[in-house]
Structure 1
Amino acid sequence: MSIIRIAILALSALLVSFSGLTFAQTQPNIVFMLVDNFGYGDLGSYGGGVIRGVPTPRLDQLAAQGIRLTNFNVEPECTPSRSALLTGRMPVRSGTSAVELMGGLQGMTPWEYTLAELLADKGYVSAAFGKWHLGDIQGRYPTDQGFDEWYGFPHSSNAPLRELQPGYDVNLVGPDGLYAGKKGAESKRVGDYDLA
């Protein structure tokens, strides 16, 4: 084999190895926020903010530098909205057409292919922070649905109403509080959920 061929092969191998590195460096960071009980016009970037008495300069800056969605439909409750955004499917198809009853085998079905799993397939590392509300038992937490890491609370903060719900089983639901988990490991309670 000639020296020129060896040099071309070596250069080709080097370029191929750097092409993956270049792709990884050019992937954009994605920050996706879902806020409960937030109206379209509450942010300054959508005509609210100062006009409504609550300036939102940092969120407005994020909106100015990112993508703003202006043509959409929303669900009337948080669980179906979260499910639809994570799966791209109608919530009824993933078992989340209404807010889940706590302490039961409810929430987003484990076999759904989520945005977190899609991004993982593209080389992204993902995390979920805050309210999940798509399942509050092992096997239904964010780290079971494709997220690499999770820190937050599994359901709403209305724990005193739980026992009034039909089908509630205290043996199925974990204690209230903040949870943390990593993909491949069991999510665990790490502290109290306290806004005081």
Structure 2
Amino acid sequence: MSCGILPDRVDGQDTDRLRHLLTETGAAILTGLAATPDALVVAAALTLGHRLRQVFPYRSRPSRDAGPVHLHADSFDVVVHIGGVPVRRRDPDEDYVFIQAVQTPGSGGESFVADAYRFANDCGRRDPDPWDFLTSADVDLYGKWADLRGLPAVPRVGRHVEHHYRCWHGREGHSGERFVRILTVRSADAR
């Protein structure tokens, strides 16, 4: 069984179709929205409506002639101190990610997603040993990513499968300039 998703394109204003696609496949490619940071928040509001609970600061990701970014979810827990007050910038219960392509590279750089639910369910049926590890063994989820892009060096220990994330994502290596913005949010569905 393949866990890859080839998302359908949908006009950002067609909220009924958009929400149906997300329920069915976990991903959609929104069209018709401007390539501005505000459009990411608009996309989140259109997608989730009254279920949108928290919007985290968007992140800009420029890259040039870069290698691949392996399959991952963005559910890190990042707290910063602003004027001595702890402020959560990322949350382990983020359950939606919006990625906006601002500039595409000369070659490569395609984003990809995988249905985490489908993978986990299929793994549980076909091979109970990896399933047991993924759902019961505590591991350092930051691992080699500590201190990367501002992530804390403090380990975050947990199970691979413990969040509400449906989609894992990554991108292929590329040559040329690539620029995306990433917005993560928490919905009413998160724990």
TM-score bucket (shorter structure): under 0.3
Structure scoring higher RCO (CA < 8 A, sep ≥ 6) equals: 2
Larger helix proportion of the pair: 1
Larger strand proportion of the pair: 2
Larger radius of gyration: 1
